[in-house]
Chain A
Amino acid sequence: MESKFGDYLLSVDHISLSFGGVKALKDISFGIREKEVFAIIGPNGAGKTSMLNVINGFYHPQEGEITYKGVHRKQMKSHDAAVHGIARTFQNVALFKGMSTLDNIMTGRIIHMKRNLFWQAIYLGPARKEEMANREYVEDIIDFLEIQAIRRTPVGRLPYGLQKRVELGRALAMEPDLLLLDEPMAGMNIEEKQDMCRFVLDVNDQYGTTIALIEHDMSVVMDISDKVVVLDYGEKLAEGTPDEIRGNQTVIDAYLGVTTAN
């Protein structure tokens, strides 16, 4: 896919991350182009989620550099990441369980609420207008994700598949440039997976959002991604188009558990 700038939206260079003596990521480098659907795959414990955590600033790597929108950084800060357009979902749904669907998605608008505290406190004038605009944006997302029926339901009571959808909605409300999805289809039935695939592709298509996702379902990954990177034991095994990955012997070995001689 041809990028607008012909450059990477986000690239990581020689990232290494360790917790005490455990090396979670070893010298990882890759780049994500604008408007791409980029998949990170690999067996359990390969460091996929750690990689996402590094990108959105939850983890701070000991070595390496992250370049996002042309700015070089040693590490991301989670607040900066959010403000500059990196949104994410979590492997184990992390919603605000006590709040309704609507309020959950509304939290995605926090970074877009600019009015000063005084107006906010008395909730008049500009603050009110701003809230209306935010509400409208949130309603659009609710329509887009087809979750009108559950807007007032506390999310703790929703089934898992819908919770994942609400979480996607919250991330979308941030109007992200880069959307990180950590196993968006895990634990879903086929129908829910198809819906989720459709939403991911539509987001990519309609909003032009760049997407980086972790997924275990290979048929999904091969169907929707433009580019795939494979991690195993914190190391990068391969990078390429789905077709290249499918034919890559190292990747096949890693997934089948074959030990290569040396």
Chain B
Amino acid sequence: MEILTTIFIQPFFDMAADPILFLQVIWEGFVTGILYSLIALGFVLIFKASGVFNFAQGIMVVFAALTLVGLHENGIPAYIALPITILVMYALAFSVERLVLRPLVNQPDIILFMATIGVTFFLIGFGEFIFGGEPKMMITEELLLPYGSITFFDDMLILQEIDIAASGIAALALIFLALFLGKTKIGIALRAVADDNQAALSVGVSLNTIWVLVWFISGIIALITGIMWGAKSDVSFALSIIAFKALPVLILGGFTSVQGAIVGGLIIGIGEKIGEFYWGDLVGGSIESWLAYMIALVFLLFRPQGLFGEKIIERV
């Protein structure tokens, strides 16, 4: 009986007993979650447009952040380094389309997936060759990102300013993308490409342009994520593993849904923080690293297509 109480009742009492602390936990989860959403969105875009699960999404985050920091280390001021990094991400998108996607067009998805693993290792090698392998500090100050913190309720609730900026920028990016992909020509074209390549070609959609575009947008998303995440820890190759946190988000939200990526990211982010804080001690802590996958697994049992994913209907 006692074990049931500690699992099912006590945590909720704890939440109610200290609502400000609860708020703090939710906030932490929200900040993490919105970054998960961004990463997941990078996956969703590429998956929609080319039907390929982009294994390189994680390393793109590191590569973008490394390029930015590396340029700055070589004496280029931040306001020039940032546009150059964006150009580099465009060059990357363009090269991937030309050298990887175009020659492999009409190949099975698994081949394309393997190709993105190839891109991953290329970027690891290339990044290390140019910028070295040791961790770097994100140039938070030079990018005019705020630091310090704001406190509420007699210092009980502490919000880091960088977190506020991160969620603000991420939210803006998400809103912009959602609008952009909703009603616009690109949005319709993207949905068309996602559905049937050949039919999309026949109505005048250029696959190559769409591919470059989605890889570029994913590159920009990677850059934003890299800056924000890098500011919270540091910029190193280990950062690329946060991309795997996008997997449960994708399972939850559906591989093809922009809204799904956003909502899924928030559920996972907040869910794992609350789980860690209120239930983690029961099993000795550190459940944050696997709780997301558990949530996703349970979810998968009930809705295999995800929260917003297109329902898989096939006539037999």
Per the bound structure, the CA–CA distance linking A88 and B201 in Å amounts to 10
Q: Per a CB cutoff under 8 Å, which of A58, A79, A98, A121 touches B195?
A: A98
User: Chain B contacts of A200 at CB under 8 A?
Assistant: none
Q: Per a CB cutoff under 8 Å, which of A94, A121, A123, A127 touches B202?
A: A94
A96 and B204 within 8 A (CB): no
A174 and B204 within 8 A (CB): yes
A71: interface (CB < 8 Å): no
Interface set, chain A 66-83, CB cutoff 8 A to B: 78-79, 81-83
A121 and B179 within 8 A (CB): yes
- How many inter-chain contacts with C-beta < 8 Å in the A-B complex? 89
Q: Per a CB cutoff under 8 Å, which of B184, B191, B199, B310 touches A121?
A: B184
Q: Which of A58, A110, A156 has the most CB of B within 10 A?
A: A110
Nearest-neighbour CB distance to chain A for B45, whole angstroms, equals 15
B180 and A120 within 8 A (CB): yes
A56 and B202 within 8 A (CB): yes
B290: interface (CB < 8 Å): no
A110 with B188: in contact, given A96-B195, A96-B199, A174-B203 (CB under 8 Å)?
yes
A-B contact pairs, 18 of them (CB 8 A): A79-B206, A82-B201, A82-B202, A88-B202, A94-B198, A96-B195, A96-B196, A96-B199, A98-B195, A99-B192, A99-B195, A103-B188, A103-B191, A108-B203, A115-B185, A120-B183, A120-B186, A123-B182
A142: interface (CB < 8 Å): no
A87: interface (CB < 8 Å): yes
A256: interface (CB < 8 Å): no
A65: interface (CB < 8 Å): no
User: Chain B contacts of A88 at CB under 8 A?
Assistant: 202
Total number of B residues with any Cβ neighbor in A under 8 Å: 26
Interface set, chain A 82-133, CB cutoff 8 A to B: 82-83, 87-88, 90, 94-99, 103, 106-108, 110-111, 113, 115, 117, 120-123, 127, 131
Q: Which of B188, B198, B313 has the most CB of A within 10 A?
A: B188
Interface set, chain A 40-65, CB cutoff 8 A to B: 56, 58
User: Chain B contacts of A98 at CB under 8 A?
Assistant: 191, 195, 310
Per the bound structure, the CA–CA distance linking A93 and B310 in Å amounts to 20
Q: Which of B179, B189, B192, B198 has the most CB of A within 10 A?
A: B192
Q: Per a CB cutoff under 8 Å, which of A111, A122, A131 touches B203?
A: A111
Nearest-neighbour CB distance to chain B for A207, whole angstroms, equals 17
Per the bound structure, the CA–CA distance linking A183 and B51 in Å amounts to 29
A120 with B184: in contact, given A58-B198, A90-B198, A99-B195 (CB under 8 Å)?
yes
B206 and A97 within 8 A (CB): no
Task: Identify the closest chain B residue to A119 (Cβ).
Answer: B184
A107 with B188: in contact, given A78-B202, A82-B202, A82-B203 (CB under 8 Å)?
yes
A170: interface (CB < 8 Å): yes
A157: interface (CB < 8 Å): yes
A110 with B204: in contact, given A58-B198, A90-B199, A123-B179 (CB under 8 Å)?
yes
User: Chain A contacts of B195 at CB under 8 A?
Assistant: 96-99
> What would 10 more interface pairs be, CB under 8 Å, given A96-B195, A107-B189?
A58-B201, A78-B204, A79-B204, A87-B202, A90-B199, A110-B185, A110-B192, A111-B204, A120-B186, A123-B184
B203 and A110 within 8 A (CB): yes
B192 and A83 within 8 A (CB): no
A83 and B204 within 8 A (CB): yes
Nearest-neighbour CB distance to chain A for B251, whole angstroms, equals 19
B176: interface (CB < 8 Å): yes
User: Chain B contacts of A96 at CB under 8 A?
Assistant: 191-192, 195-196, 199-200
Task: Identify the closest chain B residue to A106 (Cβ).
Answer: B188
B262: interface (CB < 8 Å): no
- Residues 293-313 of chain B: 1 if any A CB is under 8 Å from the residue's CB, otherwise 0? 000000000000000001001
B205: interface (CB < 8 Å): yes
B183 and A95 within 8 A (CB): no
Task: Identify the closest chain B residue to A89 (Cβ).
Answer: B202
- Residues 160-198 of chain B: 1 if any A CB is under 8 Å from the residue's CB, otherwise 0? 000000000000000010011011111011011001101
User: Chain B contacts of A122 at CB under 8 A?
Assistant: 179
Nearest-neighbour CB distance to chain A for B183, whole angstroms, equals 5
Per the bound structure, the CA–CA distance linking A106 and B183 in Å amounts to 11
B191 and A99 within 8 A (CB): yes
Interface set, chain A 163-206, CB cutoff 8 A to B: 170-171, 174
User: Chain A contacts of B186 at CB under 8 A?
Assistant: 117, 120
User: Chain B contacts of A107 at CB under 8 A?
Assistant: 188-189, 192, 200, 203, 205
Nearest-neighbour CB distance to chain A for B180, whole angstroms, equals 5
User: Chain A contacts of B191 at CB under 8 A?
Assistant: 96, 98-99, 103
Per the bound structure, the CA–CA distance linking A170 and B203 in Å amounts to 8
User: Chain B contacts of A171 at CB under 8 A?
Assistant: 202
User: Chain B contacts of A113 at CB under 8 A?
Assistant: 185
Per the bound structure, the CA–CA distance linking A103 and B187 in Å amounts to 12
User: Chain B contacts of A97 at CB under 8 A?
Assistant: 195-196
User: Chain B contacts of A83 at CB under 8 A?
Assistant: 204
A156 and B183 within 8 A (CB): no
Nearest-neighbour CB distance to chain B for A171, whole angstroms, equals 8
Q: Which of B184, B186, B206 has the most CB of A within 10 A?
A: B184
Task: Identify the closest chain B residue to A121 (Cβ).
Answer: B180
User: Chain A contacts of B200 at CB under 8 A?
Assistant: 96, 107
User: Chain A contacts of B185 at CB under 8 A?
Assistant: 110, 113, 115, 120
